[in-house]
Amino acid sequence: MNSRRSFLTTLAGSTLAFHLLPKVQAAPVYDGPVLRVALMGLGGYANRVAEAMKDCKKAKLTGIISGTPSKIKDWQQRYGIAEKNCYNYDNFDTIKNNPDIDAVYVITPNALHHPHTIRAAKAGKHVICEKPMAISAKEAKEMVDTCNKANVKLLIGYRMHFEPKTLEVIRMREAGEFGKVLFFQGLCGFRIGDPTQWRLNKALAGGGSMMDIGIYALNGARYMVGEDPVWVTAQETKTNPEKFKAGVDETIQFQLGFPGGAVASCLSTYNMNNLDRFFLNGEKGFAEMQPSTGYGPIKGRTHKGELTQPHIRHQTIQMEEMADIILQHKKPIVPVDGTEGWKDMVIIDAVYEAVKTGKKVPIKY
């Protein structure tokens, strides 16, 4: 039966069937502003960020800056990046004239964050800079000042500040559910491989494990306790001076004192695996997280039970939130701005000072 009537009958039937189907809620289409980002330094972490950004609605990868021409070709194909949005370290100041890029995300080795951030800011672009934001508090301050002067935002890649289970512990602390906070323990480390990599080169890394992984324990101590520490003591141990040369710390234990009376005990190391654990103790309860800062899923529990918030890819949620912070002036629950990063650098300077002098070092911001 291939008539007009049979067609109409089928159409009516299918329309009826459609109306009888349970209603599926269509995801709302996002039509707000989009942060157009150029990633600088196409290494391991930039690859992770780029993949995670595929799921972003509010942030989009539109440009790249790399010293390796073959990577530029490869990334252009993988992410559909226009030729005019590709730069190298010699010519990227001309990004100033590129209206397709709002922000530069600096993901180069630590010691390059300072010059790269300053150049991007002077080119009039907002900057997202990876941790550690610099290799000293002095450099960090210069970065903050330059971005302020250029009237661009500076954010640090503190992905844990957007992680749902972490934010739940912070909410509980702010609601007084742990009572007065007394103690934090942060253990962060991994066993590092290849001795020739930049992470073990003082000139590019600015230090050793403390700069790279210990900063998670340090920054975690601040957002878990909810205060900035006022003193530090620290001790360094080195089992392999051949691999961990002068100025490159293998293992540092450090203790922090907070204005409210809480203390923290932290371990930063390049010599142990399976070390990713936070413990917060207060007068009325506790929180423990393990893993606490890895790419997740983060796992944890408090005195009230298991933390059940969903796992969201850290870099996806970070870039969504950072787009809102930059374009909509959203205020994050835990700050991720340059001043937040500078405080960590002030504390890291004090940790190294405490290692060197063996003394209790006051921390002045």
Q: Which of the residues are catalytic?
A: 131, 216
28 touches ligand NDP by CB under 6 A: no
The least distance separating ligand NDP from the CB of residue 172, rounded to whole angstroms, comes to: 24
In DSSP terms, 278 is beta-bridged to 186, 289
- How many residues interact with ligand NDP (rule CB under 6 A)? 22
41 touches ligand NDP by CB under 6 A: yes
Q: How far apart are the first and last CA of the chain?
A: 84
CB-based contact 323:35 (threshold 8 Å): yes
Q: What part of residues 166-195 is at the interface with ligand NDP (CB under 6 A)?
A: none
Please tell me the number of Cα atoms within 13 Å of 203 on its side-chain side: 1
The least distance separating ligand NDP from the CB of residue 158, rounded to whole angstroms, comes to: 8
Kindly state the greatest CA–CA separation across the chain: 94
Distance CA 52, CA 318 (A): 10
340 touches ligand NDP by CB under 6 A: no
Q: Which range touches ligand NDP (CB under 6 A), out of 38-46, 78-86, 145-153, 235-243?
A: 38-46
To which residue do tokens 């409210």 refer? Answer: 260
68 touches ligand NDP by CB under 6 A: yes
DSSP 232-281: EEEEEE-S-TTTS-TT--SEEEEEEE-TTS-EEEEEEESS-SSEEEEEEE
Neighbours of 242 (CB within 10 A): 7
Distance CA 37, CA 127 (A): 9
109 touches ligand NDP by CB under 6 A: yes
The least distance separating ligand NDP from the CB of residue 187, rounded to whole angstroms, comes to: 17
* Residues 133-152, mask of contacts with ligand NDP (x by CB under 6 A): --------------------
The least distance separating ligand NDP from the CB of residue 72, rounded to whole angstroms, comes to: 8
Which of 63, 157, 186, 229 is the binder for ligand NDP (CB under 6 A)? 157
The least distance separating ligand NDP from the CB of residue 347, rounded to whole angstroms, comes to: 16
Q: Which range touches ligand NDP (CB under 6 A), out of 43-51, 53-61, 77-85, 304-312?
A: 43-51
Return the amino acid letter for 171.
R
Short-list 111, 67, 68, CA closest to 201: 111
Which of 32, 33, 67, 176 is the binder for ligand NDP (CB under 6 A)? 67
44 touches ligand NDP by CB under 6 A: yes
The secondary structure of residue 41, as a DSSP letter, is: S
* Residues 200-219, mask of contacts with ligand NDP (x by CB under 6 A): ----x-------x-------
66 touches ligand NDP by CB under 6 A: yes
Task: Give CA angle at 342 (339, 348), nearest 5°.
Answer: 150
Q: Where are the alpha helices (DSSP H) in the chain?
A: 4-20, 44-53, 69-79, 113-122, 137-150, 164-174, 202-205, 209, 215-225, 314-328, 338-357
Six-digit token string for 35: 């942060």
Q: Which is nearer to ligand NDP, 295 or 365 (CB)?
A: 295
107 touches ligand NDP by CB under 6 A: yes
Task: Give CA angle at 180 (176, 186), nearest 5°.
Answer: 100
Distance CA 101, CA 55 (A): 19
Which of 79, 183, 198, 286 is the binder for ligand NDP (CB under 6 A)? 198
43 touches ligand NDP by CB under 6 A: yes
Binding site for ligand NDP (CB under 6 A): 41-46, 66-68, 71, 107-110, 112, 130-131, 157, 159, 198, 204, 212
